[in-house]
Structure 1
Amino acid sequence: MNTNILYVDDEPHNLSAFAATYRRLYKVFTAESADEGRKILDKEDIHIVITDQRMPKTTGVEFLASILEAHPDPIRMILTGYTDIDAVIDAINKGQVYRYIQKPWMEEDLRINIEKAVEIYNLRKENKELTEKLIVANRQLEFIARQNLLS
C-alpha cells in the first residue's frame, strides 16, 4: 500500500523539510493551516495525519478533534517544540493521538513512528474488513437456519 501522509504546520520550512525527508517513502501532502488540512482530507485518502501543536488559529489537538467524526480512520500524531503536559493529555483524550513527538524531530525516530502508525492503520483496516465479512457470513447462516426451520 502506498501510504498517504498529511502534515499540517504553520511554518513553511518545516513543511518543506518534512516533504523532502519523507517523499521517497510516502506520498506527502502538506498544509499551512487546519482549514487547508481539512480540504486535503476531504479530497484525498489520508492514512496518517501529523500536525504541529502550536499554530495561530487552532492547536493541533483542536484540529485533530475536529476531524475525528468525518475522518476517523487516519492515525494521528502531534509534533511540538513545547512540553506542555496539559496539551499531551488533551491530545490523547480529545484528539485520539497515537504519538506525541518533540520538535525538532529526529529523522530516524519519526520514520520509525510513522512505520508503526502505518502498521496500526493497516491492522485496523484489515480488522474492519474481516468484521464486515463476518457480519455478512452471520446473516447468511441466520437465513439458512430460518429456511431449515421453515421446511
Structure 2
Amino acid sequence: MNSDTSANVLYVDDEVHNLNAFKASFRRKFNVFTANSAVEGRQVLESEDIHVIVTDQRMPVTTGIEFLESVIPDFPDPIRILLTGYADINAVIDAINKGQVYRYIQKPWMEDDLRINIEKAFELYMLRKENKDLTASLIEANKKLEDLLRGNLDS
C-alpha cells in the first residue's frame, strides 16, 4: 500500500456530537467525511471516492444496515463498518447478510481499536482494487494474445 495514500472515510451518524468526536479523533490519520443521515451519506458517496464507510446502526428513518444495503448496488467497493451501542444479534446477522459488513463495533468505540479496524478495512479495499486492476490487465492481455494467435493461424 502506498504510504502517500490516505483513506477516504465516510462516517454516518444522526448524533452531531458523535460526528464531531469522530472527525476530531481521525482527521489527522484519514480524510474524514461526515453525514448526519443516510441521504447525506449517499450524497457524499456520489461526490467523493470513499474507501471505508462507518455508520451508526440506530438512526431515524434509515438504519445503518438499511443504508449500507441500499448503497451496495451503486457503490460496491467501499468497505463497510457498523457501529452500535446496542448488542442485538439480529442486527449483527443482518449486518453480515444484507449490509456486507466487514466489522461490527460497539459504541462507545475505543479510538485505537476503531483506527486499526479502519486501517485494516482500507488495506482490504486497496488489495481488492489491486486484484480488480490485475484481473482486468490479464483479461486484456489474454484478449490480445488470442487475437495474435488467431491472426497467425489465419495466415
Q: Deviations over 1:70-123 (max 9, x none)?
A: 000000000000000000000000000000000000000001101100110000
* Letter paired with 1:142: E
Question: What CA RMSD, in Å, does the superposition of the two structures yield over aligned residues?
Answer: 0.4
Match of 1:138 among 135, 142, 145: 142
What is the Cα deviation at residue 2 of structure 1? Answer: 2.0
Could you tell me which amino acid in structure 1 is paired with residue 13 of structure 2? D
SS of 1:7 mapped into structure 2: strand
Q: Which amino acid aligns with 1:127?
A: N
State the 4+ residue runs in structure 1 displaced beyond 4 angstroms: none
The reply on whether 1:8 has 2:12 as its aligned counterpart is: yes
Deviations 1:12-67 (CA, angstroms, capped at 9, x unpaired): 00000000000000010000000000000000000000000000111100000000
Match of 1:25 among 29, 42, 61: 29
Q: Once the two structures are aligned, what percentage of the paired residues are identical?
A: 68
Q: Amino acid of the residue matched to residue 39 of structure 1?
A: Q
TM-score normalised by structure 2 residue count: 0.97
Letter in 2 for 1:128: K
* 1:93 has 2:97 as partner: yes
Alignment map for 1:25-44 (pairs within 5 Å): 25-44=29-48
CA–CA distance in structure 2, aligned partners of residues 19 and 78 of structure 1: 17
> Matches of residues 115-134 of structure 1 in structure 2 within 5 Å?
115-134=119-138
How far apart, CA to CA, are the structure 1 residues paired with 2:81 and 2:117? 9
Aligned residues: 151
Which blocks of at least 5 consecutive residues in structure 1 are unaligned? none
For structure 2, the 5+ residue unaligned runs are: none
For 2:87 and 2:127, how far apart are their aligned partners in 1?
31
Compute the displacement of 1:3 (Å): 1.1
Determine the C-alpha separation between the residues in 2 that align with 1:26 and 1:2.
Answer: 6
